Structure 1
Amino acid sequence: MCSRYSLTASLDELARRFDFDSNRDDFEPRYNIAPTQQVLAVVGGNARRAGFIRWGLIPQWSKSDSAGPPIINARAETVAEKPTFRDSLRRRRCLILADGFYEWQKMGDAKRPMRVALRSGEPFAFAGLWSMSSDPEGNRISSCAIITTAANDLLRPIHHRMPVILSEEVEDLWLDTALDDSQTLTQLLEPYPDDALEAYEVSALVNSASNDRPEVATPL
């Protein structure tokens, strides 16, 4: 499960790391990104392009974005089979940029918010899928979901699932628009090495999506 994350790196740093044009004036650091909000994603093709899309995938064939809760995650184990995700896996993949994500660890009757990030502190990319649909008025809507997989050893005591973090070495392959082999693609959806990650407790401020400030990501 992944329902909150952060992206606090500068746009110039992200543009260098993920090789896209940084000529944007609509970017600001985010400490508590929540479902249905606009998130920064990178797509491939002749050149990488970055843009904002809605977090909560709306299947191409859907006529509404309000039929049930937003589809924010896709399971790696079934993503190649589910009609909601199957076509996007083959044709519409993206990098969803982040530098940390949050999970809630059960402690008796309470839940303790934890932030997970690379030990290096560098930004990274979730394996994402995107879709293009139309609302009843005919407006085009770009939307996305983050792929999840089984938790690694570090995350397992916190939550049994984790988002798929792609290594830098396979990002080009994930964005390759000529690649549509589901078996090859699903082999990339592995748990990230636990020794490259760190996890620490953060404030309960993260529980409310309206709290989007540095204190949310600060270790207790």
Structure 2
Amino acid sequence: MCYDVKTSLEAQLKRAKRSQDLKAIEEIVEKLGPLTDLPLHHASGFSHPEVLIYTNEDPFYPMVATWGLIPHWVNSVEQQKKIWNSTLNARVETIFDKPSFRDAANEKRCIFYVDGFYEHHHFNNNTYPFFIHRKNNEPLALAALWSEWIHPEHGGIINSFSIVTTKGNGMMAKIHNNPKLKEPRMPLMLSEDLEQQWLTSSADFQKELKGLLSSNNNIALQAHTVGKLRGKSYKGNIESVTQEVVYNELEPEELDF
């Protein structure tokens, strides 16, 4: 799963900068930046942070959205609060089946850029957080779904999103070993070649998705253990939260990626 991320305004400008529209980038920084919670050295999805996403409606100019997809058919604040924490992630295998994600999978796909993400590794009845990022330190493009919801009490529009996850492989298959889950999971990470394919609307996208998932999505990752992300020893949303912390009790094979 993917419930903890690190992201910055610089990372979230990654796609906008490809268009080389300096005026647009300046506008994003000045107008949208202050509306977000960036920078997020560590953020839990359960805090529903405000960040930037790039949607299929405007691939190079982002919008502000909150993490935790609110389906357009939610008709009350009570229902919204009830569903919010269960839509932080969307399993790619079932996005066309689940009522919460079906419409978004067909019509509203987006990309969420992060500096990296955190996952917990289980060993001897304890959990150890890892920070995972690209080897070249470039931002990661995470596949996501988004929704536009009209608040029933004041009529305001709330944009929200869910990170799409897939079966963990390679290094992630070893890190994400939660015994409560049937298989390891990881966010669906898109290479630059596949980003546009994810955003492109198509009536046959469900069929196209199979090809996308089987494509050579060659993204080199690296990881290291960090301090606890829960409990009394948690440092909070500060820059040093991503610094490596060595746990001597972890056996060498647990860190052999």
- Using structure 1 for the length normalisation, give the TM-score: 0.88
Q: Distance in 2 between matches of 1:212 and 1:130?
A: 25
What corresponds to 1:177 in structure 2? Answer: 201
- Is the aligned partner of 1:148 residue 2:165? yes
Tell me, which stretches of 5 or more residues in structure 2 are unaligned?
177-183, 246-257
Q: Secondary structure at the match of 1:188?
A: helix
Task: Give the structure, 1 or 2, with the largest relative contact order (CA under 8 Å, sep 6 or more).
Answer: 1
**Cα distance change of structure 1 residues 3 and 88 upon mapping to structure 2, 3 Å threshold:** same
How high is the sequence identity, in percent, across the aligned residues? Answer: 31
Counterparts of 1:61-100 in structure 2 under 5 Å?
A: 61-63=73-75, 64-68=79-83, 69-100=85-116
Q: Distance in 1 between matches of 2:116 and 2:125?
A: 25
Shift of 1:8: 3.4
Amino acid at match of 1:207: R
Q: Determine if contact 2:146/2:162 at 8 Å carries over to the other structure.
A: yes
Shift of 1:178: 4.7
Q: Secondary structure at the match of 1:83?
A: coil
CA deviation profile, 1:16-35 (whole Å, cap 9, x unmatched): 25877322224343211222
* CA RMSD of superposed structures (Å): 2.6
Amino acid at match of 2:51: V
Amino acid at match of 2:221: L
**Cα distance change of structure 1 residues 70 and 192 upon mapping to structure 2, 3 Å threshold:** farther
What corresponds to 1:32 in structure 2? Answer: 42
Q: Determine if contact 1:97/1:125 at 8 Å carries over to the other structure.
A: yes
Q: Determine if contact 2:191/2:219 at 8 Å carries over to the other structure.
A: no
Q: Determine if contact 1:79/1:85 at 8 Å carries over to the other structure.
A: yes
Amino acid at match of 2:162: A
Shift of 1:9: 6.0
Amino acid at match of 1:125: A
Shift of 1:191: 9.4
Tell me, which stretches of 5 or more residues in structure 1 are unaligned?
none
Deviates more, 1:92-101 or 1:206-215: 206-215
Q: Determine if contact 1:55/1:72 at 8 Å carries over to the other structure.
A: yes
What corresponds to 2:118 in structure 1? Answer: 102
CA deviation profile, 1:24-59 (whole Å, cap 9, x unmatched): 224343211222111221113465221220100111
Question: Of the candidates 137, 144, 147, which is equivalent to residue 131 of structure 1?
Answer: 147
CA deviation profile, 1:133-184 (whole Å, cap 9, x unmatched): 1222122211100000010120112211000001100111211235552121
Higher helix share: 2
The alignment covers a number of residue pairs equal to 219
